[in-house]
Structure 1
Amino acid sequence: MSIRVAPCAAPAVKPLALACAISLCLNAASAFAQEQAVPSVFVSGARFASDPALAPIGATVITAADIRRAGAGNVNEAIRKIGGVYGRQSLDGSPDFALDLRGFGANSSENLVVMVDGVRLSENELASAVLSTIPVDSVERIEITRGGSSVLYGDGATGGVIQVFTRSGARQGVHGSGTVSAGQFDAHDLRANLSAGLGKVTLDGSAGKQESDNYRANSRFTQSNFAGGAQYAYEGGRIGVRVESARQESRLPGSLTEAQFKADPRQSKTPNDFGSLDTDRVTAFAEHRIGDTELAAELSHREKTVKAAYEYNYGGVSGFSRVKYDSRQTQFSPRVRQLSDLAGMRNELVAGVDLIRWNRKTAADFSLADASQDSKAIYVRDEIRWDPQHNGRLAVGARHEVFDKDYVDPLGMSSAKESSSQAQNAWDAQASYSVLPGVGVHAKAGQSYRMPNVDENSYRASASVLKAQTSHDLELGATFGSAAGELAVRLFRHELKNEIFFDPTIGWGTNTNLDPTRRQGVEIDAQTVIAAGWRASAHLQHVNATFTDGPNDGREMVLVPRNVISARLAWVPGDGQTADVGAQWVSSQRFGNDFTNSCAARIPSYATLDARYARKLGPWELALAGSNLTDRKYYSNAFGCQSGIYPSDGRQLKLSARYDF
């Protein structure tokens, strides 16, 4: 079930949005019976399809129906709008906002793992996972698990893991849809998808093209993408292949000072900068059951090319600095699951291997760096459902991973080839229990880790490669209610050693291992049925991110809002009309270079409002959607004290038409 949130108060009324949503949840018991049960969907479990009863503890599931009702135009937007995940404006005009689970600021993308159909999308570089290249109409569901998840997902899963699953099958016959939309800033979006069920064989394909001048000058973005798959299902399992390809071109508007932002947030001081991204991936997969034993594997290969050009003018000498990266990644992930029953208890034992090879060649005016990394991991996890009546669950797991790295930069500070090998362990223990009807509690404890990537190691403070970042993770939670109305509360703490971060106080700034830091706080999810056809929900994250030792002891980490409140209200009367309204309030935060907390100003708090109304007319659906409806002038990315500001988008309205057949 997804987290759905509702605007119970105007955006300016900050804490009331949460209070109102909780009140709705606790007082809607009489309306529960009016809402039919939401159809069950299978979830990933321990990297295998599982019954919803064995869903990851504390996870959020967003279905294809949720995505369509909210009118999300891409996967990144669906995660932010429906899942309540905080995101910061992208720097390149793309819709790929930097997603942040549990307050990791500028390095949020390196502290969460993004998976697509069991294949890792997060990579060995300082770059966010590009989710906009996944055709949104091909998505079957999205699962968000907050908190340490390195046992199953490895490097970087301290903040959590986001998994995207595309369609795994199709109804018999041929079905599809086409969507066209247009909006302000010369925005156009064309999408088409087709699926066919031909006995045991299913085929699907999705394609799209998006174009927009975007809110700021020199921020035009264009993208075309395609994803298609074929699979053969038989009595004991299935085999198949998926192909994905995308092309992006972006103009790069650059940053502004506070004075420039106030004068005109739409302006650009880098009118000639631009970049592009080309990516292609093919994945083969297989699943097979032998009695109570399930075997599964993915073999995936991805090739990516990134280009950029930045204009410079130093001392009257002008020109362009150009860079090009060509990277490849191959992943092989076989695993096995054994299900068994003993004395009325259900046991799930999962073991697997992740083998990933990554390499990158660089051709730039300032660097010819070549880099590679091989990682080899083995993991095991056992979960027992020991009291089905009270949903008693206990799970323990462990992972060991070895990273072999090579790096050389003939134009950098040293032309010597650098090789290193680092190993890291993760573990976790989780338990949940329904202490009363409609009341459940859970606890999680474990260790997660993050390794320094190639970009961090190539510009570091130490003579040797940076140390691995480790986190001791703890979570305590409780849920109240049922599928028709539920309140979930999670208290969490992450004690980090050797956090990998860019420290602006060292020289001109460099990557380093920080003194000990901590993330701790509370997350609250509330969702309920107000009346027949009306659903409301909310998500709150309160996080305190601070140094816990060293010269910065007690000071706040940068680019981390202490409070984020998201709320949504959905109206589905069943007569072909739907409406969806959402609001988000984000509290103030430290500027990106303010490690000493000495900047006299902070990034201001802000609130935004979005909405969508749709009407079905036979096979057609017509919709009007708007984002930042109050046209708030704000920013979420600022890397200097009142400077280095990347303004967020202003108001945008969009009309769309969809045809289903």
Structure 2
Amino acid sequence: MQKFFWIIVFLFIGIGLPAFSQNTSLSGVITTSNSGNPLPGAHIYFKGTNIGTASNNKGHYELNSIKPGNYSLIVSFNGFKRIRQEVEITEGRNEMDFSLEESNSNLGEVVVTGTGTAHHLKNAPVPSELISSKEVKSVGATDFNDLMLSLSPSFDFSPGTMGAFMKLNGLSNDFIVVLIDGKRLYGDIGGNIDLNRINPDNIERIEILKGASSLLYGSDAIAGVVNIITKESGQKNHFSNTTRIRGNNTWQQNNVVEVDAGRLSSHTSFDRKSSDGWQLSKYEEVGDELVETEEKTMKAYEDFTLSQKFEFAATPKLDFYAEGSYYQKDMFRQQSVADYGYYYQDETYGAGTKYLLDNRDYISFDYHHDKFLYYYRYNHDDVDGDFQKDQKTINNDQRLDNARLKYLNVLSSDNTLTFGVDYLNEKMVSANRLVDGEADAYTIALYAQDEMTFFDALDVVAGVRYVNHKELGSAFTPKLSALYKVGNFNIRSTYGIGFKAPTLKELYYNYEKRGRVYLGNTDLDPQESEYLSVGVEYNTRLVSLSASAYRNNVDNLIDYVDGGGENVRIHDNISEARSEGIDVLLDVRTGAGFSIGGGYSYVDARNLTDDIRLEGVAEHSGNIRLAYDHHWKNYALNANIFGRIQDEKFYDGDPNAKGYDLWNFTTNHTFSNLGSLIVELSAGVDNVFDYVDDSPLGAHYGTLTPGRTFFAGLRINFSE
């Protein structure tokens, strides 16, 4: 498949080489309307082509090698109102300046995950939640977990030895499809996705779909889809470095180098994070006793990620990309508590192409490969000679191959069709934990989606996805979403069917942990869901308020049950489970630079078979955000107070995880008018009131915060 793909790539490149004009250009300056200051990083492009760029730190932009003619020109920047203007480009040098007006809320920002087509958030027919670049920046989070806890009440994380178990509206990360720039994040450790690969400083925005409402990204997204869009400035020559330091010698760093040579562009990023870890309690639960331990609740770690992406515009209608990344993480444990620590390694590569058939229609193909390796790394020499210091023994090797073909056809301004084919193959290799040493399974899916607008007030998205699994047969999963607009109110509703085959681990994986044996089960049935949500939004220039109610019924939910022995657990189908609740989001601009926002989530998640709550779920969660923004000519201040309030989490037969409330204070200072440089300083306090859960090691934790922690950061941004 890969050889065939690259043959097509080079053929298209050869065909498209002479397609650009060499003598025509468009240049100018993009500024803010309120101050007239230059606006760095604003995107400007011709709709229906791949011709585009971004303004440098002086607000200047330049587009070269343009074919003379009439174009629809788009100028956009996050947090500002988009400009669309019909322009005529003539032979030679053309000059145009633009002034962007700041938007009053996130509602004017564009989302694409729900339908695969661009919609302003307030007009997105599939209910979507957006975490903007401004919100991401304002938190200054150490990791993805802290970021989401600060900004979305619908998300929760249950800390574990090797990572955090993510939940969305009461359902675990097994039912959440996590995407980075539309590509699946793969690699399971201890039952959860390794979210540590996500550096908050490299995030542009996050788009969230809840429930089985996604047609394009798989029917296995029973709880929802999280699409993380990474930063890509689009500037000609760009370099940035972001460095943050916190207590416990916790460092995080993000470096980006971008070069745009016209038709060929390169994007390189390097992320590094490390921490000495910390201990919440010097005691550990061993059976019914508490014993002293040196084990750290948060393990010391060190990791880095290197990624590279090349893009080539063969013609104004045809472009290609190739990308790859390498990730490595060491999680250390003291010799006094364990013979080994954990070591993770991830390699990805992929390529794709997109061909614009006209100003609106296109066909695209993407291929993505992910290989995730999980090892034990020994931290000393064994006296019996069984292992040596730094020797690694592999636990499992997980591989993903995903090929996607998509065709979008805009029949009219009121009707858009999307068709696609999605091939997904998973393979696991583990000599010690799989019966036959390896296992694999593939899924082939076909989907069709129709976006329709009626009477300018009603938008409907309807479609169906056909899924065929290697072992577990076929299923049809229809989706239907509707948006009705009346005045300042939006009424939204979505209905979807989900189908999720058991994972390779659930089917075949066997292992032992702390004296307890965990077994796979080849007799598992697929999990199926039925999701329904209804919501109302009220939007004005100063106030945005939304409330939505949902119910997610899951049949044949897979979980561990008693395996016939005191210390044996086996995967099995719980006949029925349900998650239902209410989400409320509020954003108010009070004037003079101040704003108030936040949200509340009520979740009733139950195992209906045993009539008990689902484990690890808090019923009540809430977020509060107070912000102040002010712009002077060459200096901007952003100050924030974030609060997270959450009640206890239920665990059957074990003590519940404690509820908590955490408050953080952050400030961000931006210095501009430094030529090609922009300098940003950040500083703040995490956990202002110094809350610590000092439960013994092995207990269920609501949060692993080490207490009050101070942090500082510096970002240097250069472009020309």
Give the TM-score normalised by structure 2. Answer: 0.73
**Which amino acid counterpart does residue 158 of structure 1 have in structure 2?**
I
Moved more, 503-512 or 139-148: 503-512
Aligned to 2:341: 274
Aligned to 1:439: 489
| Whole-angstrom CA distance in 2 between matches of 1:283 and 1:615 | 37
Tell me if structure 2 keeps the 8 A contact 1:42–1:49.
no
1:329 and 2:400 correspond: yes
Residue of structure 1 aligned with 2:643, choices 565, 579, 583 = 583
Instruction: Using the TM superposition, give the Cα deviation of residue 368 of structure 1 relative to its aligned residue in structure 2, in angstroms.
Output: 6.7
Aligned to 1:66: 135
Tell me if structure 1 keeps the 8 A contact 2:648–2:702.
no
Tell me if structure 2 keeps the 8 A contact 1:637–1:646.
no
Aligned to 1:28: none
DSSP 3-state at the match of 2:149: helix
Instruction: Using the TM superposition, give the Cα deviation of residue 466 of structure 1 relative to its aligned residue in structure 2, in angstroms.
Output: 0.6
Tell me if structure 2 keeps the 8 A contact 1:150–1:449.
no
**Which amino acid counterpart does residue 147 of structure 2 have in structure 1?**
A
Instruction: Using the TM superposition, give the Cα deviation of residue 383 of structure 1 relative to its aligned residue in structure 2, in angstroms.
Output: 1.6
Residue of structure 2 aligned with 1:403, choices 466, 469, 476 = 469
- Provide the aligned length of Structure 1 versus Structure 2: 573
Aligned to 1:9: none
Q: How does 1:361-380 map to 2 (within 5 A)?
A: 361-364=429-432, 369-380=437-448
Aligned to 1:602: 656
Tell me if structure 2 keeps the 8 A contact 1:249–1:277.
yes
Name the CA shift for 1:197/1:135 in 2 (closer, same or farther; >3 Å).
Answer: farther
Instruction: Using the TM superposition, give the Cα deviation of residue 365 of structure 1 relative to its aligned residue in structure 2, in angstroms.
Output: 8.0
Residue of structure 2 aligned with 1:195, choices 258, 272, 277 = 258
| Whole-angstrom CA distance in 1 between matches of 2:196 and 2:701 | 23
Name the CA shift for 1:250/1:367 in 2 (closer, same or farther; >3 Å).
Answer: farther
Name the CA shift for 1:85/1:645 in 2 (closer, same or farther; >3 Å).
Answer: closer
| Whole-angstrom CA distance in 2 between matches of 1:252 and 1:85 | 33
| Whole-angstrom CA distance in 2 between matches of 1:385 and 1:364 | 55
Instruction: Using the TM superposition, give the Cα deviation of residue 101 of structure 1 relative to its aligned residue in structure 2, in angstroms.
Output: 0.8
**Which amino acid counterpart does residue 558 of structure 1 have in structure 2?**
E
Instruction: Using the TM superposition, give the Cα deviation of residue 426 of structure 1 relative to its aligned residue in structure 2, in angstroms.
Output: 1.4
Residue of structure 1 aligned with 2:323, choices 242, 246, 249 = 242
Moved more, 240-249 or 145-154: 145-154
Residue of structure 1 aligned with 2:552, choices 490, 494, 508 = 494
1:563 and 2:617 correspond: no
Tell me if structure 2 keeps the 8 A contact 1:45–1:55.
no
Name the CA shift for 1:145/1:547 in 2 (closer, same or farther; >3 Å).
Answer: same
Name the CA shift for 1:76/1:287 in 2 (closer, same or farther; >3 Å).
Answer: farther
Name the CA shift for 1:47/1:275 in 2 (closer, same or farther; >3 Å).
Answer: farther
Aligned to 1:650: 706
Instruction: Using the TM superposition, give the Cα deviation of residue 84 of structure 1 relative to its aligned residue in structure 2, in angstroms.
Output: 3.7
Tell me if structure 1 keeps the 8 A contact 2:114–2:128.
no
| Whole-angstrom CA distance in 2 between matches of 1:149 and 1:636 | 39
Q: Which runs of 5+ in 2 are unaligned?
A: 1-100, 280-294, 380-385, 511-517, 673-677
Q: How does 1:327-366 map to 2 (within 5 A)?
A: 327-341=398-412, 346-364=414-432
Q: Whose relative contact order is higher, 1 or 2, with alpha carbons under 8 Å and at least 6 apart? A: 1
Instruction: Using the TM superposition, give the Cα deviation of residue 617 of structure 1 relative to its aligned residue in structure 2, in angstroms.
Output: 3.8
Q: Which runs of 5+ in 1 are unaligned?
A: 1-32, 254-267, 312-317, 405-419
User: Any idea what the Cα deviations from partners look like across 1:270-294, whole Å, max 9, x if unmatched?
Assistant: 4444101111111212222212421
Instruction: Using the TM superposition, give the Cα deviation of residue 153 of structure 1 relative to its aligned residue in structure 2, in angstroms.
Output: 2.0
Name the CA shift for 1:570/1:504 in 2 (closer, same or farther; >3 Å).
Answer: farther
Instruction: Using the TM superposition, give the Cα deviation of residue 151 of structure 1 relative to its aligned residue in structure 2, in angstroms.
Output: 2.8
Aligned to 2:150: 81
| Whole-angstrom CA distance in 1 between matches of 2:546 and 2:564 | 42
Tell me if structure 2 keeps the 8 A contact 1:125–1:455.
no
Aligned to 1:15: none
| Whole-angstrom CA distance in 1 between matches of 2:418 and 2:233 | 24
Instruction: Using the TM superposition, give the Cα deviation of residue 352 of structure 1 relative to its aligned residue in structure 2, in angstroms.
Output: 0.7
**Which amino acid counterpart does residue 445 of structure 2 have in structure 1?**
A
| Whole-angstrom CA distance in 2 between matches of 1:366 and 1:153 | 29
Residue of structure 2 aligned with 1:544, choices 604, 610, 614 = 604
| Whole-angstrom CA distance in 1 between matches of 2:680 and 2:645 | 31
| Whole-angstrom CA distance in 1 between matches of 2:344 and 2:520 | 32
Name the CA shift for 1:37/1:515 in 2 (closer, same or farther; >3 Å).
Answer: closer
**Which amino acid counterpart does residue 286 of structure 1 have in structure 2?**
T
1:226 and 2:306 correspond: yes
Residue of structure 2 aligned with 1:185, choices 230, 245, 248 = 248
User: Any idea what the Cα deviations from partners look like across 1:251-300, whole Å, max 9, x if unmatched?
Assistant: 258xxxxxxxxxxxxxx984444101111111212222212421122111
User: Any idea what the Cα deviations from partners look like across 1:336-359, whole Å, max 9, x if unmatched?
Assistant: 111122xxx611211111111221
Q: How does 1:411-422 map to 2 (within 5 A)?
A: 420-422=471-473
| Whole-angstrom CA distance in 2 between matches of 1:330 and 1:86 | 28
Instruction: Using the TM superposition, give the Cα deviation of residue 209 of structure 1 relative to its aligned residue in structure 2, in angstroms.
Output: 1.5
DSSP 3-state at the match of 1:590: coil
Tell me if structure 2 keeps the 8 A contact 1:35–1:532.
no
DSSP 3-state at the match of 2:630: coil
Tell me if structure 1 keeps the 8 A contact 2:472–2:526.
no
Instruction: Using the TM superposition, give the Cα deviation of residue 422 of structure 1 relative to its aligned residue in structure 2, in angstroms.
Output: 3.1
| Whole-angstrom CA distance in 2 between matches of 1:44 and 1:56 | 11
**Which amino acid counterpart does residue 476 of structure 2 have in structure 1?**
N
| Whole-angstrom CA distance in 2 between matches of 1:40 and 1:355 | 34
Tell me if structure 1 keeps the 8 A contact 2:441–2:469.
yes
Q: How does 1:166-177 map to 2 (within 5 A)?
A: 166-167=230-231, 170-171=234-235, 173-177=236-240
Name the CA shift for 1:635/1:88 in 2 (closer, same or farther; >3 Å).
Answer: farther
Aligned to 1:163: 227
| Structure with greater Cα Rg | 2
DSSP 3-state at the match of 2:112: coil
Residue of structure 2 aligned with 1:622, choices 673, 677, 681 = 681
**Which amino acid counterpart does residue 662 of structure 2 have in structure 1?**
T
| Whole-angstrom CA distance in 1 between matches of 2:544 and 2:108 | 16
Q: How does 1:258-269 map to 2 (within 5 A)?
A: none
Name the CA shift for 1:462/1:247 in 2 (closer, same or farther; >3 Å).
Answer: closer
Instruction: Using the TM superposition, give the Cα deviation of residue 379 of structure 1 relative to its aligned residue in structure 2, in angstroms.
Output: 1.1
Give me the identity figure in percent: 17
